[in-house]
């Protein structure tokens, strides 16, 4: 146990406030709180970069005809928007939350492998630079879609290799992050913090981390085979040499489907913390939440080919993947029911974290239902690769993952910054985001049902009005996030605002509320003694 | 019975909602293609598409009912159980009975949903006993159709987006006041099939994955290079039906539409007859020696249909696309260089291989580029040169 603790700091940092200063504090950061901050700032930056690319797409689609970008650049925008948002924004942001909150929630002094933690963050910087820089390489950025389907990837320019390299680095970073999280949770819980008393956020991250370790190497394999097909004469996926392009899709989606749960399970965890806090009532069915999360994770490995119904698989294949996919609706429904049962007969207030959490439940469920509709193979044949799919996954990834992270930010930022955000501004951010999000993505359901394929730079005139509406909504949504940064995050980072108490939320539970706000540089240096519920420190 | 209720409900909803939207662009519904601000799937023209539409309504209604019920509970709770109303929190947080019930109920609902879907999956995949088999080959960026079995066997042609519409797209779309109902859906040679006959479409591709989609038929099938896949439809109405490529296939992905013309049995027979006559007339003698004017005219056509999309009508290319006008390879006295590129492609097939064109077409288009714009080499390439180089 002591081998994994950072002894270096112990000698002279026994009292708080002796943190390393200047650039060294960040470059050599081994403190989980600093690394968490770095992750969150990095992922917000990438959210903005990916957002600008998305607005490029929406600006081009504002009207029929090509106005701003050529189709080649358009494909680069869609591809890089997807890659940057998935690997640069959503995933690192959750790792940031994990870094900040997991040690605080389980009563550990830091993450298990502090230096590896530093390494896994700083690996992301070159990877992000390579990804963004690929736009300036000859032939522009990769334009094969974020799924990087073969054999289109074989036609790409040198930026494809750069993209593959960047994905490898990001994958390595994710795996190291996951190992760190698993080891921290399994080995460093304070005495009395049994697994089944752990906060839901830790549970969902523990399961997510296992998913990551299981599937990131699969992605690495797929893109490495793409690389050797491109340069070293192999023919894994190249039909000209007897390779099978559909095999690429199988391998990719064996990674890709667990990946979508990687991006949503920690969000479930955040919401499961916030709803009880503002309903002033314990989470309903804690154990069944844990089991439901595990079932979702296990099922996620056997549903991948529902992304491939149109590739033409045998009847039995289609049926199997259809049934398995529909089965995921069951544990997901259990979670929704549990949250609502937690709210039922509570004593609710609606500060911004709760607004985002309720907004999450409402809008995410819409994405869940379109997922169920897409799972039906015969309907999927109609809407596969159309805007219906685009609407579906933005409902679960933006209104799902992103809204849960906003909820988490508002919930925990008093602990991070030591000051309260402005409740009025938080509410403006919520309603502005919720409405503009729906204006952007709801019309896409209609476009998809009417048959507008995704990744199209130009479209028939009949689709014009809905596209215009979606583009207007997208710009409003984008500006809402700039507002969030300038008027909510920035004042918080500068320490402006009402001072936050140790526990700003009346009924919030957990060890993170047992330390002062802002959380001191070092917390729980000696394992705390916990009460029987493992939510309070008793001496 | 239930089906007709769904259909009526759908019709009413659509009519009601389309009143609310005003068309900002001058465009009309395209029969067989998208309608203006269409809210739902295309009107079904095959039994499979009708089943899909039914399933979609079935799912949509069940999901909406559940959604409304669940969130009615949540919003009731939000309304009643709030602190500002002085509501005191209850203390329950567990109930095995409730949890078992709400695990089993969704499970049963999901099974009930899967049953009708299973039937449709099985019907969709049954491509046996086709009256007519057509191979659809996806190419960057057009479709090749070959009638390989049934009436019309031997007919084969390429179907590409109307060049003026591609040009229109580059110029920012149809101008104000210009009404183009089939914008980006108009092709030079539509696929022609007989009504009420089971048509099996075999898909494959030459370069990357494409997908052959016709929403009104309820058909979408990836066209995968190196592999063949199949799907089928039996169109129950005469008319024109439109679709587009549905798998990202490179820069011109949005510009390779599908247009299927469904005609009566008699019209189909007549069309096949006419095609056969054309086929016989078109068969070029690959040993023929062409004159400069003849081959130039032929080459211009081949160029417009295949090359102008990238290299532009003026031969100047654009961005990464190389210019032909003034190109060293085109001007080179060794015509073998250009022939090799035409046959094998270049730059990782950014310039695709064109060996699917006939010797005469390749010879014609090379001769055309060597003697057009500022290129005045006077060199002629004859079909025999291509035959030799293959």
Per-residue pLDDT at A362 exceeds 80: yes
Cβ-defined contact of A463 to B34 (cutoff 8 Å): yes
Residue A81 annotated to the active site:
yes
Radius of gyration of chain A (CA): 23
Other CB atoms within 10 A of residue B282 CB: 11
B356 vs A314 pLDDT, higher one: A314
Radius of gyration of chain B (CA): 28
Per-residue pLDDT at B280 exceeds 80: no
- Exposure of B290 in the CB half-sphere (CA atoms within 13 A): 28
Q: Are B232 and B200 in contact (CB under 8 A)?
A: yes
Per-residue pLDDT at A481 exceeds 90: yes
- Tell me what pLDDT residue B277 has: 85
Cβ-defined contact of B121 to A71 (cutoff 8 Å): no
Tens-place pLDDT, residues B233-244: 999 999 999 999
ipTM of the complex: 0.90
Per-residue pLDDT at A533 exceeds 60: yes
Task: Select the residue of B21, B66, B117 nearest A376 (Cβ to Cβ).
Answer: B117
Work out the pLDDT band at A407, boundaries 50, 70, 90.
very high
Per-residue pLDDT at B118 exceeds 60: yes
How far CA A330 is from CA of B24, B96, B112, B319, in Å, comes to 43, 16, 13, 51
Mean pLDDT of B129-140: 95
- Placement of tokens 């995968």 in the chain: B224
- Tell me what pLDDT residue B4 has: 54
Find the range with the poorest average confidence among A54-68, A75-89, B271-285, B369-383: B271-285
Mean pLDDT of B183-203: 96
Tens-place pLDDT, residues B296-339: 888 888 898 888 888 888 888 887 888 888 888 888 888 888 89
Residue A288 annotated to the active site:
no
Residue A332 annotated to the active site:
yes
Tens-place pLDDT, residues B341-366: 988 888 878 888 888 888 888 999 99
Closest among B178, B38, B261 to A446, alpha carbons compared: B38
Work out the pLDDT band at B5, boundaries 50, 70, 90.
low
- Tell me what pLDDT residue B291 has: 85
Residue A60 annotated to the active site:
no
Per-residue pLDDT at A531 exceeds 70: yes
Coil, strand, or helix at residue A426?
Answer: helix
A174 vs B9 pLDDT, higher one: A174
Pick the residue from chain A with its C-alpha nearest to B229.
Answer: A312
Residues of B with Cβ-Cβ distance to A385 under 8 angstroms: 211, 220, 246-247
- Tell me what pLDDT residue A342 has: 95
Residues of A with Cβ-Cβ distance to B95 under 8 angstroms: 285
The verdict on whether omega for the bond into residue A497 sits within 30 degrees of 0, i.e. cis, is: no
Pick the residue from chain B with its C-alpha nearest to A282.
Answer: B93
- Tell me what pLDDT residue A328 has: 93
> Distance (Å, rounded) from C-alpha A511 to C-alpha A529?
11
Per-residue pLDDT at A15 exceeds 60: no
Pick the residue from chain B with its C-alpha nearest to A150.
Answer: B208
Cβ-defined contact of A453 to B320 (cutoff 8 Å): no
- Tell me what pLDDT residue A11 has: 42
Mean pLDDT of A400-407: 96
> Distance (Å, rounded) from C-alpha B158 to C-alpha B88?
73
- Tell me what pLDDT residue A4 has: 38
Interface test with A, best of B20, B83, B128 (most A CBs within 10 A): B83
- Tell me what pLDDT residue B360 has: 87
A505 phi/psi in degrees, rounded to 5: -105, 125
Mean pLDDT of A21-45: 93
Work out the pLDDT band at B1, boundaries 50, 70, 90.
very low
Angle at which helices A159-187 and A91-106 cross, to 10°: 10
Tens-place pLDDT, residues A439-458: 999 999 999 999 999 999 99
Q: Which residues contact A228 (CB under 8 A, 6 or more apart)?
A: A234, A236
- Tell me what pLDDT residue B327 has: 87
- Tell me what pLDDT residue B314 has: 87
Task: Select the residue of A64, A446, A507 nearest B39 (Cβ to Cβ).
Answer: A446
Task: Select the residue of B180, B209, B230 nearest A461 (Cβ to Cβ).
Answer: B180
The alpha-carbon gap from A343 to the nearest alpha carbon of chain B, in Å, equals: 7
Q: Is the dihedral of CA B84, B87, B93, B94 positive or negative?
A: negative
Cβ-defined contact of A378 to B38 (cutoff 8 Å): no
Per-residue pLDDT at A377 exceeds 60: yes
Work out the pLDDT band at B8, boundaries 50, 70, 90.
low
Q: Is the dihedral of CA B103, B104, B107, B109 positive or negative?
A: negative
Mean pLDDT of B114-127: 94
Tens-place pLDDT, residues A382-399: 999 999 999 999 999 999
Tens-place pLDDT, residues A325-355: 999 999 999 999 999 999 999 999 999 999 9
- Tell me what pLDDT residue A22 has: 85
Mean pLDDT of A318-331: 94
Q: Is the dihedral of CA A356, B76, A443, B43 positive or negative?
A: positive
Tens-place pLDDT, residues A215-249: 999 999 999 999 999 999 999 999 989 999 999 99
- Tell me what pLDDT residue B319 has: 77
Tens-place pLDDT, residues A162-177: 999 999 999 999 999 9
Structure tokens at B208: 């990357």
Q: Are A466 and B25 in contact (CB under 8 A)?
A: no
Cβ-defined contact of B249 to A155 (cutoff 8 Å): no
Per-residue pLDDT at B17 exceeds 60: no
Catalytic residue, chosen from A58, A281, A307, A415, is A307
């Amino acid at each position: 146990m002591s081998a994994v603790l950072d002894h270096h700091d112990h000698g002279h940092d026994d009292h708080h406030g002796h943190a390393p200063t200047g650039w060294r504090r960040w470059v050599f950061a081994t403190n989980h709180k600093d690394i968490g901050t770095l992750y969150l700032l990095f992922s917000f930056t990438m959210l903005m970069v990916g957002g600008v690319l998305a607005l490029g797409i929406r600006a081009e689609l504002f009207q029929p005809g090509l106005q701003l970008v050529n189709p080649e650049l358009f494909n680069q925008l869609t591809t890089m928007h997807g890659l940057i948002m998935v690997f640069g924004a959503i995933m690192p942001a959750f790792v940031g939350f994990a870094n900040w909150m997991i040690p605080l929630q389980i009563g550990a002094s830091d993450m298990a492998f502090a230096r590896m933690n530093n390494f896994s963050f700083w690996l992301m910087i070159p990877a992000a630079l390579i990804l963004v820089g690929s736009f300036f390489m000859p032939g522009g950025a990769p334009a094969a879609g974020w799924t990087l389907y073969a054999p289109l990837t074989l036609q790409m320019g040198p930026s494809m290799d750069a993209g593959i390299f960047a994905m490898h680095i990001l994958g390595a970073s994710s795996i190291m992050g996951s190992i760190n999280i698993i080891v921290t949770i399994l080995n460093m819980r304070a005495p009395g913090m049994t697994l089944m008393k752990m906060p839901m956020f830790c549970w969902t991250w523990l399961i997510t981390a296992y998913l990551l370790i299981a599937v990131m190497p699969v992605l690495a394999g797929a893109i490495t085979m793409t690389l050797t097909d491109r340069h070293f004469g192999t023919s894994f996926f190249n039909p000209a040499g007897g390779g099978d392009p559909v095999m690429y899709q199988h391998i990719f989606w064996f990674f890709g489907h667990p990946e979508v749960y990687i991006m949503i399970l920690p969000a479930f965890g955040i919401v499961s913390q916030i709803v009880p806090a503002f309903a002033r009532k314990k989470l309903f069915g804690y154990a069944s939440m844990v089991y439901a999360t595990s079932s979702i994770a296990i099922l996620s490995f056997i549903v991948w080919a529902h992304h491939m119904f149109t590739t033409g698989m045998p009847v039995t294949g289609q049926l199997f993947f259809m049934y398995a996919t529909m089965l995921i609706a069951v544990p997901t429904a259990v979670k929704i029911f549990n949250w609502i049962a937690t709210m039922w007969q509570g004593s609710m207030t609606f500060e911004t974290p709760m607004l985002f959490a309720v907004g999450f439940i409402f809008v995410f469920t819409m994405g869940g239902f379109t997922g169920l509709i897409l799972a039906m193979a015969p309907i999927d044949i109609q809407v596969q690769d159309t805007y219906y799919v685009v609407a579906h996954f933005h409902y679960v990834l933006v209104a799902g993952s992103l809204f849960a992270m906003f909820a988490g930010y508002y919930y925990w930022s008093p602990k991070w910054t030591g000051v309260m955000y402005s409740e009025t501004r938080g509410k403006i951010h919520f309603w502005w985001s919720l409405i503009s999000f729906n204006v952007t993505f709801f019309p896409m359901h209609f476009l998809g049902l009417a048959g507008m394929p995704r990744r199209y730079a130009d479209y028939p005139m009949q689709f014009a009005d809905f596209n215009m509406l979606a583009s207007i909504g997208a710009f409003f949504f984008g500006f809402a996030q700039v507002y969030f940064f300038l008027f909510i995050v920035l004042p918080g980072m500068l320490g402006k605002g009402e001072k936050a108490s140790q526990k700003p939320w009346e009924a919030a539970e957990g060890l993170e509320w047992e330390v002062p706000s802002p959380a001191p540089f070092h917390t729980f240096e000696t394992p705390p003694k916990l009460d029987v519920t493992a939510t309070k420190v008793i001496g | 019975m239930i089906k007709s209720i769904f259909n009526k409900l759908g019709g009413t909803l659509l009519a009601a909602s389309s009143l609310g939207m005003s068309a900002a662009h001058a465009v009309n519904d395209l029969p067989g293609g998208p309608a203006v601000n269409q809210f739902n799937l295309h009107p079904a023209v095959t039994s499979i598409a009708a089943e899909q539409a039914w399933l979609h309504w079935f799912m949509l209604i069940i999901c909406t009912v559940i959604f409304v019920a669940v969130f009615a509970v949540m919003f009731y709770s939000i309304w009643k159980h709030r602190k500002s109303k002085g509501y005191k929190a209850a203390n329950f947080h567990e109930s095995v009975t409730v949890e078992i019930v709400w695990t089993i109920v969704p499970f049963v609902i999901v099974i009930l949903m899967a049953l009708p879907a299973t039937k449709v999956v099985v019907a969709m995949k049954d491509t046996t006993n086709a009256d007519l088999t057509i191979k659809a080959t996806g190419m960057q960026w057009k479709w090749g159709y070959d009638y390989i079995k049934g009436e019309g066997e031997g007919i084969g042609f390429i179907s590409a987006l109307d060049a003026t519409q591609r040009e229109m797209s580059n110029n920012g779309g149809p101008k104000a006041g210009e009404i183009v109902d089939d914008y980006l859906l108009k092709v030079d040679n539509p696929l022609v099939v007989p009504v009420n006959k089971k048509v099996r479409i075999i898909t494959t591709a030459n370069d990357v994955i494409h997908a052959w989609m016709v929403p009104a038929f309820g058909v979408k099938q990836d066209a995968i290079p190196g592999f063949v896949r199949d799907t089928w439809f039996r169109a129950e109405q005469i008319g024109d039906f439109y679709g587009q490529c549905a798998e990202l296939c490179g820069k011109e992905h949005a510009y390779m539409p599908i247009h299927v013309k469904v005609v009566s049995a008699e019209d189909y027979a007549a069309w096949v007859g006419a095609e056969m006559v054309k086929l016989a007339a078109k068969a070029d003698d690959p040993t023929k020696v062409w004159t400069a004017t003849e081959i130039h005219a032929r080459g211009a056509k081949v160029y417009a249909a295949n090359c102008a999309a990238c290299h532009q009508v003026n031969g100047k290319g654009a961005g990464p696309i190389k210019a032909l006008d003034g190109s060293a390879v085109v001007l080179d006295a060794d015509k073998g260089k250009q022939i090799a590129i035409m046959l094998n492609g270049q730059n990782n097939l950014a310039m695709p291989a064109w060996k699917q064109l006939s010797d005469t077409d390749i010879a014609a288009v090379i001769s055309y580029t060597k003697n057009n714009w500022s290129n005045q080499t006077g060199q002629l390439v004859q079909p025999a040169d291509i035959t030799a180089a293959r």
